[in-house]
Amino acid sequence: MISETHNEKRPNYLNPYFGGLLLGLLLLAVFFLAGRGLSATGALKLSIATVENIIAPGHVENSTYWSKFIPEDGSSPLFNWLVFAGLGTFFGGLISGAVYGRLGKLRVEHSPKINAKTRLVAAGIGGILFGIGSQFGRGCSSGAALSGTAAFSFGGLLVLMLMFGVGYVVAYFFRKLWI
Amino acid sequence: MWLLIFSENYGYKKIRIMGPLIPQGLIIGQWDFVIALLIGMAFGFILEASGFSSSRNIAGVFYGYNFVVLRVFFMALVVAMIGLLYFDYFGWINMDLVYVLPTFLPSMILGGVIMGFGFIIGGFCPGTSFTAAAIGKLDGFVFIGGVFIGIFLFGEGFPLFEEFYTAGALGNITIGEVIGMSNQMVTLGVTIVALVAFWGTWLIEKRVRKNIKLFKF
């Protein structure tokens, strides 16, 4: 497994304030066009609903959760704004990686204090927690914390403050993963 | 916002349009999916170009060696909030049609706490993990796999906590309505907090980075 633990050169990233300005303008454009903000987990949720609906349609029909995402006209749940935006996010990252020369072989980036396997396990656990948390929170960092708060939603701000707040509170216990 | 249209019977005519366009059915012929793809691409590009394809870059916000997350996030938030206020003021957008994420107190508190743990353990959030995977980071792919599993587990266990999930519903309540302030004052408050945070974290980062010889991202 290729590991990435040190980087001697300063990486070529956008100025963060400029990146933030671009992201803010994009968010504004999305509000103007769609009347709602950005989302990342929506695409994954609809993919799961689609696969489950193919494998076990009866189960989905009976589920009070999954049945919400199956369109009544019989079209695919994947034929949805969120899915196209999610696909776009992947390709946008790919283009940026190509432009700035960061595309590479499959590799694992981790702190020198842990090995690649530990990092992968942690990434998996973090992903599972984010998957569960984003459903309870009505969105993840993009959908609830950023877009929700930008449209002045109280719940969005609540998720934003808790997500970062809890991160800071427990950061000490997970420091080995990072520093 | 004005738009010039042409019709056979009346010739050119200036009509007034207001955002948001898609909820009012002003974009037809499934162009909205093309727009969604382009918006997603812009989103992914900005995230990657800002350095969010690296989990160690992101996690730096919790240890003081890199505050890029805070800078990008707060800057975007302030720009979008001020922008929305101006769009509303100029009559470019009908704020009644802009979706205000509804609030469900207990469920969203739990969700925020769980995501806080997910953030510090996984080092990504779902959007950033897409871009990490896109440039070849295996940890990004594993994180996405985790999110799939998490959502699946939630959906399967849903009957167990359905009541909790919908409890404490406050509707589409805004920050201003909770603390008794206008959207303008809320935006001013967020802007001040952001500026103070930009300045404070700049000081912290300078101090923490003094002893760092290798870039950790």
Q: Looking at the domain assignment, is residue B17 inside a domain?
A: no
Provide mean pLDDT across the span A56-73: 92
- The whole-number pLDDT of residue B214 equals 59
Whether pLDDT at A43 is above 80 = yes
Residue B3 CB contacts under 8 Å (≥ 6 apart), including other chains: B14, B15, B16, B17
Q: How many angstroms separate the CA of residue A170 from the nearest CA in chain B?
A: 8
**How far from B170 is each of A150, B186, B199, CA to CA, in Å?**
18, 19, 35
Report CA A31 to chain centroid distance, whole Å: 19
DSSP string of B150-187? Answer: HHHHHHHHHHHHHHHHHTTEEES-BHHHHHT--HHHHH
**A83 pLDDT band (50/70/90 cuts)?**
very high
Side-chain half-sphere CA neighbours of B150 within 13 A = 31
ipTM for the predicted complex comes to 0.96
More confident of the two residues A128 and B22: A128
- The single residue listed with the structure tokens 């990092």 is A119
Mean pLDDT in chain A? 93
Whether pLDDT at B26 is above 90 = no
Among all residues of chain A, which has the CA nearest to that of B136? A106
Burial string for B58-82 (b: 16+ CB within 10 Å, else e) reads bbbbbbebbbbbbbbbbbbbbbbbb
Share of chain B above pLDDT 70, in %: 97
Give the tokens for residue B70: 């805070």
Whether pLDDT at B216 is above 60 = no
- The whole-number pLDDT of residue B215 equals 59
Provide the domain count of chain B.
1
Q: How far apart are CA B3 and CA A159, in angstroms?
A: 38
- The whole-number pLDDT of residue B194 equals 97
Provide mean pLDDT across the span B4-33: 83
Contact between B135 and A93 using a beta-carbon 8 Å cutoff: yes
Give the tokens for residue B109: 């508190």
- The whole-number pLDDT of residue B217 equals 53
- The whole-number pLDDT of residue A6 equals 73
Residue A110 CB contacts under 8 Å (≥ 6 apart), including other chains: A3, A4, A5, A116, A118, A119, A177, B56, B139
pLDDT, tens digit (0-9, with 9 covering 90-100), for A151-169: 999 999 999 999 999 999 9
Q: Looking at the domain assignment, is residue B185 inside a domain?
A: yes
Chain A interface includes B189 (CB < 8 A): no
Q: Looking at the domain assignment, is residue B15 inside a domain?
A: no
Sequence letter at residue B118: G
Contact between B137 and A109 using a beta-carbon 8 Å cutoff: yes
Q: Find which of B46, B61, B68 to mutate to test the A interface (most A CBs within 10 Å of its CB).
A: B46
Q: Which of B41, B73, B109 sits opposite A146 (nearest CB)?
A: B73
pLDDT, tens digit (0-9, with 9 covering 90-100), for B95-151: 999 999 999 999 999 999 999 999 999 999 999 999 999 999 999 999 999 999 999
Q: Which of A16, A102, A159 sits opposite B50 (nearest CB)?
A: A16
Q: Looking at the domain assignment, is residue B21 inside a domain?
A: no
pTM of the predicted structure, to 2 decimals: 0.94
- The whole-number pLDDT of residue A179 equals 84
Whether pLDDT at B186 is above 60 = yes
User: DSSP label at B90?
Assistant: T
Q: Find which of B45, B54, B161 to mutate to test the A interface (most A CBs within 10 Å of its CB).
A: B45
Residue A141 sits at φ, ψ, to 5 deg, of: -60, -35
**A56 pLDDT band (50/70/90 cuts)?**
very high
Q: How far apart are CA B60 and CA B131, in angstroms?
A: 18
Q: Looking at the domain assignment, is residue B78 inside a domain?
A: yes
Contact between A23 and B76 using a beta-carbon 8 Å cutoff: yes
Domain that holds residue B63: 51-215
Contact between A16 and B174 using a beta-carbon 8 Å cutoff: no
Q: Looking at the domain assignment, is residue B176 inside a domain?
A: yes
pLDDT, tens digit (0-9, with 9 covering 90-100), for A91-148: 999 999 999 999 989 999 999 899 999 999 999 999 999 999 999 999 999 999 999 9
- The whole-number pLDDT of residue B13 equals 78
- The whole-number pLDDT of residue A78 equals 93
- The single residue listed with the structure tokens 């609030």 is B103
Sequence letter at residue A54: I
Q: Looking at the domain assignment, is residue B131 inside a domain?
A: yes
